[in-house]
Amino acid sequence: AGRSTKQLLLNAENGGYAIGAFNVYNLEGIEAVVEAAEEENSPAILQVHPGAFKQGGIPLVSCCISAAEQARVPISVHFDHGTTKHELLEALELGFDSVMVDGSHLSFTENVSYTKTITELACSKNIMVEAGLGRLSGTEDGLTVEDYEAKLTNVHQAQEFMETGIDALAVCIGNVHGKYPESGPDLKLDLLKELHNLSSKKGVVLVLHGASGLPEKLIKECIENGVRKFNVNTEVRKAYMDALTSSKKTDLVDLMSATKTAMKAVIADKIRLFGSAGKA
C-alpha cells in the first residue's frame, strides 16, 4: 500500500475526517496499528518518537517501513518531535515519509529559521514536514514540560510561520501530552477555528498532539474545525502496560499476543472516532 503522509492528510482534508498517528515502540505496537487499520479498512500513521528511536534504533524504523509497505491499507511512517537538527538530519536519511520539526524550546524567530532549514532539506527529498507553534504542557517519554510553560499558538505568528513551507501545523490550543487535569480538557475551539481559517488558505493541515484523554465530543469538534492528524501515545501505552501487568499468561508469545490485542482495541476505537474507518 502507498505510504505518503502528505497524501493521507490531503485525502483526510478532502473527506473531512482525521488520521490517527500512533506512537510505536516495538513489533507488537507496529502490528497492532497495521492490523487495526486493516480491520477498519483505514489509513493510519506509524509514528516514532526520538525516545523510541533511541531504544529501537534503525531496526525499529526499518520494521515500520516494511510493515507499511506490506500493509493492505495506506500506512505512512512519521518521525515525531524532532527537537534537534542533528536528529532530524538523521531522520531524513532513514526513509521516513514525514517528520515533525519541534522548535517549541526556541524563541519564535529561532523556531522559524530552524523550521525553514529543515523544511528546505526535507522538501528536496520529498519528505513532508509538520511543525509546531506554541508549547504543550504535560509529559511524554520522560520529557517534562511544566504546566506554567504551556503556551497557546499565536494567530499572528502562525501566519508568518506557515511561510516556512510546512505542510502541517501542530497547534497548541490547550491540548496536553499525557493525562488531562482532573477538571478535564479545556480546548480553545475559537482559536482552532481562527487557525483553520488561516491554514486552509495556505494549504496547510492542522495536527493535534496529546489526543489521549480527549472525549469523543471534543475530538469531533476538532475535526469539524480542521484537525486532520491526531497524535495518540499514552492510551496505547497504557493498554500495553495494563495487559502486561494484569495478564495471567506465563508464556512469552502469549503475553506478546495479549499486549497486541489490547493495543489493537484502543487503536481501532480511535480510528472509528477519527472518521478514517472505511477510507483506505
* Active site members: 80
Cβ–Cβ < 8 Å for 33, 271: no
Nearer to ligand G3H, 65 or 176 (CB): 176
β-pair partners for 45:
21, 76
> In whole angstroms, what is the distance from residue 138 CA to residue 146 CA?
7
* Residue 78 found at the interface with Zn ion (CB under 5 A): no
Residue with cell 492490523: 35
Pairing of strands 143-145, 137-140: antiparallel
Query: Which of the stretches 60-68, 97-105, 191-199, 260-268 binds ligand G3H when contact is defined by CB under 6 A?
Result: 97-105
Q: Return the closest-CA partner of residue 33 out of 19, 46, 18.
A: 46
Instruction: Print the binding letters for residues 156-195 with Na ion: x by CB under 5 A, - otherwise.
Output: ----------------------------------------
- For ligand 13P, the closer of residues 11 and 234 by Cβ is 234
What is d(CA 199, CA 161) in angstroms, rounded to the nearest whole number?
Answer: 10
Q: Does 49 engage in binding with Zn ion (CB under 5 A)?
A: no
- Report 99-118 residues binding ligand G3H (CB under 6 A): 102-104
79 vs 258 by CB, closer to Zn ion: 79
What is the rounded distance in angstroms from the CA atom of residue 223 to the CA atom of residue 156?
22
Nearer to ligand G3H, 46 or 170 (CB): 170
* Interface pattern 224-253 for Zn ion (x via CB under 5 A): -------x----------------------
How many whole angstroms separate alpha carbon 162 and alpha carbon 232? 24
Report the largest interatomic distance among the alpha carbons of the chain, rounded to a whole angstrom.
56
What cell was used for 130?
A: 509538520
C-alpha distance from residue 105 to each of 83, 170, 175, 183 (Å): 8, 14, 17, 27
Least separation in angstroms between CB 172 and ligand G3H: 5
Which residues would be at the binding site for ligand 13P (CB under 6 A)? 23, 80-81, 140, 177-178, 209-212, 231-234
Give CA 21 to chain center in angstroms: 4
Report if residue 20 touches Na ion, rule: CB under 5 A: no
Compute the least distance from the CB of residue 130 to ligand G3H, in Å.
Answer: 8
Asked whether 64 and 45 are in contact (CB, 8 A), the reply is no
Among residue numbers 180 through 209, which ones bind Zn ion (CB under 5 A)? 209
State the nearest-atom distance from the C-beta of 161 to ligand G3H, in Å. 10
Q: Which does 132 bind (CB under 5 to 8 A by kind): Zn ion, Na ion, ligand 13P, none?
A: none
Per-residue contact flags (x/-) with ligand G3H for residues 191 to 220, judged by CB under 6 A:
------------------x-----------
Distance CA 27, CA 260 (A): 9
By CB under 5 A, residue 210 contacts Na ion: yes
Binding footprint of ligand G3H on the chain (CB under 6 A): 102-104, 132-136, 170, 172, 209
